[in-house]
Amino acid sequence: MKMRPGTQTGFLLCGKEWIEGEALEVRSPWDQGLVGRVTVASRADARQAVSHAVASLRRTRALPRWKRREILEDVAGTLIEQKERFAQLIVAEAGKPVRLARTEVDRAVLTFKTAAEEVARLGGETIPLDLVEGNEGRWGLVQRFPVGPVLAITPFNFPLNLVAHKVAPALAAGCPFLLKPAPQTPFTALALGEVILKAGWPQEALAVLPLSNTDTAWLAEKEDRIKLVSFTGSAKVGWDLKVHSGRKRVLLELGGNAAMVVHGDWPDLDDAALRTAHAAFGYAGQSCISVQRVFVERGVFQTFLWKVVEYTAKLVTGDPCEDATDVGPLIRLSEAERVDAWVKEAVEGGARLVAGGERRGSLLPPVILTGTKPGMKVRDDEVLGPVICIEPYDDFEEALAEVNHSRYGLQAGLLTRDAGRILTAFRELEVGGLIVGDTPSWRLEPMPYGGVKDSGLGREGIRSAIEEMTEPRMLVMAGLS
């Protein structure tokens, strides 16, 4: 079943009402067909949503663990039942190839199931306090409590699972939340909000707010009743949010230009090249851990390069609704134009275009470059498009230095069978996660995920996010022995 343009109508989900107002048109990245119209929230709507969230905190904090777990499991079950519905929403508004959209739904199911399991592990600890004479009978109890209302700001590229990575921990922790989805992809978030409410989450403890970026920044800065801001998006916007968020806790997942190192001792270059092609070009490279830079030991460089070219040529570029499609359109025409301009700039600067065709609207066929240099945007900045730079190296330490030659540090990949090199890379690479034996694009929901440098602040794995959304309180008991 394909999504038909114009069939979706969205309203602002705020507190206890569906509210109608000024509408924003959402169009397909593939053919610009109308997906639907969504109500734009005002600052007054946002204030009202915060008031509802604050009023609901006592109720969400009192929800027993079995109930929170039940809600999370119910959401996971509904996503399984409605897998095709959510996949088609993702295809329609994000332009993600349908096979990848179905995989995203599967991952969101795992996200909610993992959060349900973590609810049972939300324990505390007892601390002996009779360690100094005169304190006989004293002991302490530490327990975690929800931090309060959470503002979750999500990007377009994973409109279901990156939303789930914020709201599932909030449900587990007992935090009311306000969700601001990307303007390109509001319908998936609204549909998930309905599922969460039907699962039994208090209505006033949830708001899906299609706010403008300006009003979102205003909300983060001015509304002190929000206790935590969790943002996934560009580095510039994220760090600006942190500067203006005052005393709120801030979690930032800000992207990168993921690198991998392929050493000559890796036994299966065919498999490595196949994985690299899919990790670089799946969903047109629109992932913060999409492979962008690859450093290959010179002895196997040519072999690896041409194997990547071979496997890239087999990828299907085109209509995201088709099951065979691997590479769909970029989210906006302006993004495709930007990436195309960066590639042309690199070629004019001396880089060699090994593979890549002419851009057709928002569709940019996969680009493979070599001979790139530091200072080129395709190498230094986050492309967030279907572009990969593959370069040779002679010395392993030199390759690690090239990986670190970046203002980003989210994840890196390493293909070597040498334990010493693995440990050296783990010690030296300035990244939040090192993936050995695979590309840096590999991620699973339970892992503590996040980066260093301009790639962010804090960690967004399910358990880590729950800890961030709770605060420890100490109870000291005396004179009761």
pLDDT band for position 244 (cuts 50, 70, 90): very high
- Would the pLDDT of 79 be above 50? yes
The mean pLDDT of 389-399, rounded to a whole number, is 98
Alpha carbons 451 and 393: distance in angstroms, whole number: 25
E strands, 46-153, are: 125-128, 139-146, 150-153
Question: Residue 22: its pLDDT value, please?
Answer: 78
Of residues 468, 431, 473, the one with CA closest to residue 453: 431
E strands, 104-185, are: 125-128, 139-146, 150-153, 177-180
Question: Residue 36: its pLDDT value, please?
Answer: 92
Longest CA–CA separation in the chain, Å: 80
- Would the pLDDT of 6 be above 60? no
**Chain mean pLDDT for the chain:** 94
Alpha carbons 305 and 198: distance in angstroms, whole number: 51
Q: How much is the pTM?
A: 0.94
Q: Are 48 and 14 in contact (CB under 8 A)?
A: yes
Alpha carbons 3 and 357: distance in angstroms, whole number: 28
Q: For residue range 356-372, what is the model confidence (pLDDT) as tens digits?
A: 989 999 999 999 999 99
Of residues 410, 411, 398, 396, the one with CA closest to residue 454: 410
pLDDT band for position 17 (cuts 50, 70, 90): low
- Would the pLDDT of 115 be above 90? yes
Of residues 122, 127, 121, 120, the one with CA closest to residue 142: 127
The mean pLDDT of 333-349, rounded to a whole number, is 98
Q: Which are the catalytic amino acids?
A: 253, 288
Alpha carbons 341 and 428: distance in angstroms, whole number: 33
- Would the pLDDT of 5 be above 60? no
Alpha carbons 349 and 207: distance in angstroms, whole number: 48
The mean pLDDT of 6-29, rounded to a whole number, is 70
Alpha carbons 123 and 144: distance in angstroms, whole number: 7
Give the three-state DSSP class for 269.
helix
Question: Residue 23: its pLDDT value, please?
Answer: 84
Q: For residue range 245-293, what is the model confidence (pLDDT) as tens digits?
A: 999 999 999 989 999 999 999 999 999 999 999 999 999 999 999 999 9
Block residue for tokens 């080129």: 376
Q: For residue range 141-178, what is the model confidence (pLDDT) as tens digits?
A: 999 999 999 999 999 999 999 999 999 999 999 999 99
Measured at the CA of 77, the angle between CA 76 and CA 81, to 5 degrees, comes to 120
- Would the pLDDT of 2 be above 50? no
Of residues 313, 240, 299, 231, the one with CA closest to residue 265: 299
Q: For residue range 462-481, what is the model confidence (pLDDT) as tens digits?
A: 999 999 999 999 999 997 65
SS (H, E, C) 199-261: CCCCHHHEEECCCCHHHHHHHHHHCCCCCEEEEECCHHHHHHHHHHCCCCEEEEECCCCCEEE
Q: Are 229 and 251 in contact (CB under 8 A)?
A: yes
Question: Residue 232: its pLDDT value, please?
Answer: 97
Share of the chain above pLDDT 90, in %: 92
φ, ψ of residue 235 to 5 degrees: the values are -65, -45
The mean pLDDT of 78-98, rounded to a whole number, is 98
Distances from the Cα of 358 to the Cα of 145, 290, 323, 336, 382, angstroms? 55, 21, 23, 11, 21
Alpha carbons 334 and 339: distance in angstroms, whole number: 9
- Would the pLDDT of 330 be above 60? yes
Question: Residue 1: its pLDDT value, please?
Answer: 34
Distances from the Cα of 188 to the Cα of 195, 224, 284, angstroms? 11, 28, 20
Question: Residue 9: its pLDDT value, please?
Answer: 53
Q: Which domains does the chain have, with CATH numbers?
A: 8-254+456-474 (3.40.605.10), 259-445 (3.40.309.10)
Q: Which residue type occupies 331?
A: I
Cα dihedral sign for 91, 96, 97, 98? negative
Question: Residue 124: its pLDDT value, please?
Answer: 87
Block residue for tokens 């008031």: 51
Alpha carbons 15 and 202: distance in angstroms, whole number: 9
Q: For residue range 93-109, what is the model confidence (pLDDT) as tens digits?
A: 999 999 999 999 999 99
Alpha carbons 393 and 397: distance in angstroms, whole number: 9
Q: Calculate the dihedral angle through the C-alpha atoms of 26, 30, 32, 37, rounding to the nearest 10 degrees.
A: -20
- N residues, the chain: 481
pLDDT band for position 4 (cuts 50, 70, 90): very low
